[in-house]
Structure 1
Amino acid sequence: MTDAPAISVQGLTKVFGDRTVVDHFDMQVPKGAIYGFLGPNGSGKTTTIRMMCGLLTPDAGSGTCLGFDILHEQDRIKANVGYMTQKFSLYEDLTIRENLDFVARMYQVPNRRDRVRQALADLGLSERANQLAGTLSGGWKQRLALAACMIHDPALLLLDEPTAGVDPKARRDFWDEIRRLSAAGVTVLVSTHYMDEAIQCDFIAYIAYGKKLISGPAREIPAMIGLHTYQVTGPDISALEAELRQDPGVGQVARFGAVLHVSGTDRAALDAVARRHQDKGDHKWRLKEAELEEAFIYLMAGAEDNFQAVAE
């Protein structure tokens, strides 16, 4: 049983009005993994996560979360889940300590005062314990929200766009804490569209317009797609970019500052393009390992927006 996945769902579907927001979604989430859900805003990431964890009832599909049935044992799932929403949802007119004490009371945490004290220490909040939550910066609010999510020692942590609006240092500190929790056996689901956060995840699912495009170990995603990439540098890169976008041997062109990443799934065709341009001697072409960002751009370029017809 120790090797059983933390979450196993099949065929999850959710319809709001005329929109199928999640369309027959399957997923296996290993225990203790950091699992990232990537996709554009409105792609169904949050709805999917909430259905997998018993916070929202699917219209179709089945599965288990932490060994409990997502359709019939939702209360038992909720008792073992910590959920951090994108918008700060604690009481701004209460202090940090008062907020944590309130949440601990809700979950009927034993030895509540000691547990609050420990939560303050774990997240570096002890010196600010008596500060009103409404006066905190984005990074400190984030720490408080995470402390509140973990006050009842959940086995599963849900993070919905957790670092939106916080500074880079706060984001790094936050991810250090997430990795510590994962190492301790907590399963973490993260909804994000930041690529620098995606690389922090053990596994990734790309979701677009209600459908899962691909899922698997983060480091294996580009290879699963079969994507190959050249890094191109040299003068007048904008003109080259425009030319390459019209070349049938190129699957995609992504610009990163003064560097082009030229990718495709047909290695022979891509190599031919590279040789042709290298022979001109104007630009340097270097084959590189395709990374998550190229994979994400490639997947999104081929995704069909099935919401567009509804909106029109």
Structure 2
Amino acid sequence: MTSADTGDPVVEVREATRTHGSVEILGPTSLTLHAGEAAAVVGANGSGKSTLLRLVAGTDEPTSGTVRTLGLPAARARLRRREGVTLLLGGLPTYRDLTVAEHLQLISSAWAGRHRTASVAETLAEAELGRVRDQFPSELSSGEGQLFALAATLYRPASLVLLDEPEQRLDARWRAVARRLVARALDDGRTVLVATHDSGLRDDVAARGQVVELTAPGPR
């Protein structure tokens, strides 16, 4: 049974901090998200946006405070409830010899029975990537690669979506596509936590959830 089944928070961060040695990279931060809710994490570079997402993903642990994901300490949830979280943090790992479409087909096969109903073709069309379906990820432009990473991340049928600056390397037109993909995830009732510098994405999420503004910690 997950937190979504019980009505407990999907994400619960209580006064979490993270320091590396004597350097504080995330000041005390609190955040609560229930099923279907969304939050945009904003702030200057160095304020701890990516760090907060890594804490929620369970790939890092807080120095103080607590972080719970899907009803468990985040580090445990990463191992025991990985099917419930999909994340785009630091790029998408890909296979050299699989095309764009084949990557999505692999995701669909891996999550058979729990997958969203959209086909590979529909997903690529929604991301405006239909014309590159038979190319390898290494052959994509930087913008195409970023949109593919976002589309592939969202193609997994996870209830919690963590996105770190999905607008990276996208021009204005493709940023609009990225915002549309995130909106679809919200329409599907997924819980979304996104770190962003894009004002349009921030406003879209704020209209349907909350904004968490981080401040870069000062010298200690």
TM normalised by structure 1 equals: 0.59
Shift of 1:68: 2.5
1:1-312 superposed matches below 5 A: 3-87=7-91, 89-91=93-95, 94-103=98-107, 108-110=110-112, 118-124=119-125, 125-202=129-206, 203-210=210-217, 305-306=218-219
Number of aligned residues: 210
Aligned equivalents of 1:133 and 1:74: distance in 2?
27
The alpha-carbon distance between structure 1 residues 134 and 116, as it changes in their structure 2 partners (threshold 3 A), is farther
Deviates more, 1:73-82 or 1:166-175: 73-82
Secondary structure of the residue that 1:188 maps to in structure 2? strand
Aligned equivalents of 2:44 and 2:65: distance in 1?
24
The alpha-carbon distance between structure 1 residues 152 and 13, as it changes in their structure 2 partners (threshold 3 A), is same
Aligned equivalents of 2:118 and 2:75: distance in 1?
36
Secondary structure of the residue that 1:123 maps to in structure 2? helix
Aligned equivalents of 2:71 and 2:139: distance in 1?
40
Unaligned 5+ runs, structure 2: none
The alpha-carbon distance between structure 1 residues 193 and 115, as it changes in their structure 2 partners (threshold 3 A), is closer
When the two chains are superposed, the root-mean-square deviation of aligned CA atoms in Å is 2.8
TM normalised by structure 2 equals: 0.81
Paired letter, 1:118 = S
Structure of greater relative contact order (alpha carbons < 8 Å, 6+ residues apart)? 2
Shift of 1:39: 0.8
Deviates more, 1:93-102 or 1:48-57: 93-102
**Larger of the two Rg values belongs to structure:** 1
CA contact (8 A) 1:93 1:134 kept: no
Aligned equivalents of 1:17 and 1:135: distance in 2?
40
Shift of 1:102: 4.8
Aligned equivalents of 2:73 and 2:89: distance in 1?
23
Secondary structure of the residue that 1:199 maps to in structure 2? helix
Aligned equivalents of 2:103 and 2:167: distance in 1?
20
The alpha-carbon distance between structure 1 residues 71 and 173, as it changes in their structure 2 partners (threshold 3 A), is closer
Aligned equivalents of 2:77 and 2:198: distance in 1?
33
Shift of 1:166: 0.9
The alpha-carbon distance between structure 1 residues 69 and 120, as it changes in their structure 2 partners (threshold 3 A), is farther
Aligned equivalents of 1:128 and 1:115: distance in 2?
22
Deviates more, 1:96-105 or 1:143-152: 96-105
Paired letter, 2:19 = V
Unaligned 5+ runs, structure 1: 211-304
CA contact (8 A) 2:40 2:211 kept: yes
Paired letter, 2:120 = A
Aligned equivalents of 1:176 and 1:2: distance in 2?
30
Deviates more, 1:73-82 or 1:85-94: 85-94
Shift of 1:38: 0.5
Paired letter, 1:35 = A
The alpha-carbon distance between structure 1 residues 16 and 119, as it changes in their structure 2 partners (threshold 3 A), is farther
